Structure 1
């Protein structure tokens, strides 16, 4: 049944002894297609089936996870077969040299010792950890040193072989005590049974002058924020005082007139009338 075999089969060994193998389902594979992976590292051995499958949304096997894998210059034999609707599908077979698919771990124990008088630093490290290579000369390294004041400026970016860096060390001769740097290292093969792909980067190690400008900048930023907060609170306080001032209330047109209000108003009318009569009499006498 053409198009039912898996495609893009890839295996990677990482963290020394873990291995992941993944694949894509066949072009004509239906939802009920199922795959099974078997492997062995010697022609005299029996095939061992996968114990920890990776599945897709339809439950089809699309990969396998392995633990406790040892390389030891072994060639592995992989077989993926399966079935669809009760019928066998096209099998897939592949042979792989295990050391070629290893993703090297980062170099270990990276340290930096600087001498201000000589304007140089000695960077040292240990080879990455593997299950089959013990010789230091089997690795070469890439070293990247960055100026932290200008992260985009790469001071050193070069591959160095084991013979160029005796004893897994490198002398950085452009050191300035007034600057801050970081260094990271990764490894690859140097003519042994090691993967030719670059391994993982080590965690960056910083060295040189402390970045004091950062603390000064933070103090300035805190001062600006504090001043802005005080100004904001003062503005809010002034606004609240203005809006809370007494505002004359309009007379309620529907306010009920009490007896006391009526008597007071009537008394005022009488007083006003008597005053007008007195003024009138005075005008007539005059």
Structure 2
């Protein structure tokens, strides 16, 4: 019956070897309609059913996830269905796999700036693929933004875009007093088995002399300082407490013998000398603890 076959069948290959295929339920399909996807991978004669279906809220199959997909030549897809109320139309499609690949971002983006010449050299490596071994197969779109300055309440001052066919770029508008970011994506240069659609953007790389220090950076310096100060405070407190509790307790005197003035003076001088020695030892111990 017309309108019961799936609609909007789309497949995308990403992250080198993963593939997702999705579709919509036919506009005239009944609620109990269920779909089943079969496909024949490149260089294989056997047709296999999807092993990992994507389902909607009603439990109907609306997609399939594949792993370890080899991007070679083309693949054949068949989606049929079943229903207790009516016959379901089949859907067939042949897809050239490299055309549906979403290229990964270019790798290892590196920036080296020279303040005197106001230039920055930018390098990168081609995106990861399973079937392309030639670096010249790619063209690149590079975007360089002059970053906003929150303190000066300024928005993005400029944006530079360029499309090049090599894996390096010379940026000649560098100012040492500003901050920049660069991101790059890749596509087919026109003569290889690569998707002509632009791939994923690389993670922005920031460069320039004005760097924003994050809260975590401050904590890296603050935490060790607080720890050292707290350790010193506790050490001095414990030392003072031990000094007070371990003070020399005078021995009980003989009630039948009163000390003479000479004995009292001698005992007093000995006590002063002993206390002075303890203070010197305390100071040395505190310094060692610090």
For the residue of structure 1 that corresponds to 2:176, the secondary structure is coil
For the residue of structure 2 that corresponds to 1:137, the secondary structure is helix
| Contact map agreement 1:144 1:154 (CA 8 A) in 2 | no
In the other structure, the counterpart of 2:161 is 157
For the residue of structure 1 that corresponds to 2:181, the secondary structure is strand
Q: How far is the alpha carbon of 1:210 from its aligned partner?
A: 2.0
| Cα deviation digits, residues 214-268 of structure 1 (max 9, x gap) | 99xxxxxxxxxxxxxxxxxxxxxxxxxxxxxxxxxxxxxxxxxxxxxxxxxxxxx
For the residue of structure 2 that corresponds to 1:210, the secondary structure is coil
In the other structure, the counterpart of 2:104 is 105
Distance 1:151 1:67, change over 3 A: farther
In the other structure, the counterpart of 1:39 is 39
Question: C-alpha distance in 2, partners of 1:212/1:44?
Answer: 55
Q: How far is the alpha carbon of 1:42 from its aligned partner?
A: 4.3
Question: C-alpha distance in 1, partners of 2:113/2:170?
Answer: 9
Matches within 5 A, 1:138-149: 138-149=137-148
| Contact map agreement 2:29 2:88 (CA 8 A) in 1 | no
Distance 1:50 1:86, change over 3 A: farther
Is 1:28–2:28 an aligned residue pair?
Answer: yes
In the other structure, the counterpart of 2:135 is 136
Is 1:185–2:184 an aligned residue pair?
Answer: yes
Q: How far is the alpha carbon of 1:43 from its aligned partner?
A: 7.4
CA-atom RMSD, angstroms?
2.0
Question: C-alpha distance in 2, partners of 1:13/1:59?
Answer: 25
Question: C-alpha distance in 1, partners of 2:103/2:97?
Answer: 12
User: Gaps spanning 5+ residues in structure 2: where?
Assistant: 149-153, 216-290
Question: C-alpha distance in 2, partners of 1:179/1:118?
Answer: 15
Question: C-alpha distance in 2, partners of 1:53/1:64?
Answer: 4
Matches within 5 A, 1:4-19: 4-19=4-19
User: Gaps spanning 5+ residues in structure 1: where?
Assistant: 216-286
| Contact map agreement 2:14 2:104 (CA 8 A) in 1 | yes
In the other structure, the counterpart of 2:231 is none
Matches within 5 A, 1:165-244: 165=166, 168-191=167-190, 192-211=192-211
In the other structure, the counterpart of 2:267 is none
TM-score, with structure 2 as normaliser: 0.69
For the residue of structure 2 that corresponds to 1:68, the secondary structure is coil
| Contact map agreement 1:141 1:186 (CA 8 A) in 2 | yes
Matches within 5 A, 1:62-73: 62-72=62-72
For the residue of structure 2 that corresponds to 1:99, the secondary structure is helix
For the residue of structure 2 that corresponds to 1:152, the secondary structure is coil
Question: C-alpha distance in 1, partners of 2:193/2:42?
Answer: 18
| Larger-Rg structure | 1
Question: C-alpha distance in 1, partners of 2:113/2:204?
Answer: 16
Question: C-alpha distance in 2, partners of 1:155/1:33?
Answer: 51
Q: How far is the alpha carbon of 1:44 from its aligned partner?
A: 5.5
In the other structure, the counterpart of 1:230 is none
TM-score, with structure 1 as normaliser: 0.70
Question: C-alpha distance in 2, partners of 1:158/1:84?
Answer: 54
Q: How far is the alpha carbon of 1:153 from its aligned partner?
A: 3.4
Q: How far is the alpha carbon of 1:145 from its aligned partner?
A: 0.5
| Cα deviation digits, residues 13-50 of structure 1 (max 9, x gap) | 00001000000010111110000000013475111100
